[in-house]
Amino acid sequence: MIIEIEDTSFSKINTSNFRKQIISYQKENPCCVAYPTHNCTHAKHQSDSLLHKKFSVFENSLHSCLKKKNIKVNITHLWAFITYKNENIDSIWHSHYINNNKKQLTALMYLTDNDIGTEFENNYIIKPKINKWFLWDSKLNHKPLETKVNKTRIIISTGLEVLDSV
């Protein structure tokens, strides 16, 4: 099941300047030491998993939105995934589950307006909506739709450990 939670206050933060800061962060803090060589197995333009440490707005937004659903979480990792205009999206089936015997959720937020959603193995497709968190069980395999983008696409994704109900 996919849960959608809109953060109505996020539209005030999600400006072109804010998105430029996210892009800059990714360039300065890539996913791994192997980036951008073929040894890197991450998406082509992915940040490290500590984006929430630099931009507390994501953590604040998640906690505020999840409180509405009586869900308390710990963010284990949070990153930006960027696909630039005229690039093909890295589209690989994957999940964000870490085998640690804890209940885990994955959350995704689209920062840019686009029509390239996220597909799940059951053929369900998230229709992108900016400033809205989409949450699901981290065991669910998913991938971005495979296509060439006509404008830069920025998403934020995160792994969450569910602590308990609020």
Which domain CATH number covers 84? 2.60.120.620
Average model confidence (pLDDT) across the chain: 89
**Containing structural domain, residue 27:** 3-164
Give me the pLDDT at residue 34, please. 65
User: How does residue 93 score in pLDDT terms, banded at 50, 70 and 90?
Assistant: confident
Q: Show the 3-state SS of 84-113.
A: CCCCECCCCCECCCCCCCCCEEEEEEECCC
The tally of domains found in the chain comes to 1
The share of the chain scoring above pLDDT 70, in percent, equals 91
| pTM attached to this predicted model | 0.90
DSSP annotation of 127 reads P
Query: 100 falls in which pLDDT band (50, 70, 90)?
Result: confident
Q: Quick: pLDDT tens for 69-89.
A: 899 999 999 999 999 999 988
The residue to which tokens 């109900």 are assigned = 165
Residue 46's alpha-carbon distances to 36, 55, 68, 89, in angstroms, are: 10, 16, 30, 12
Q: Give yes or no for a contact between 159 and 98, defined as CB atoms under 8 angstroms apart.
A: yes
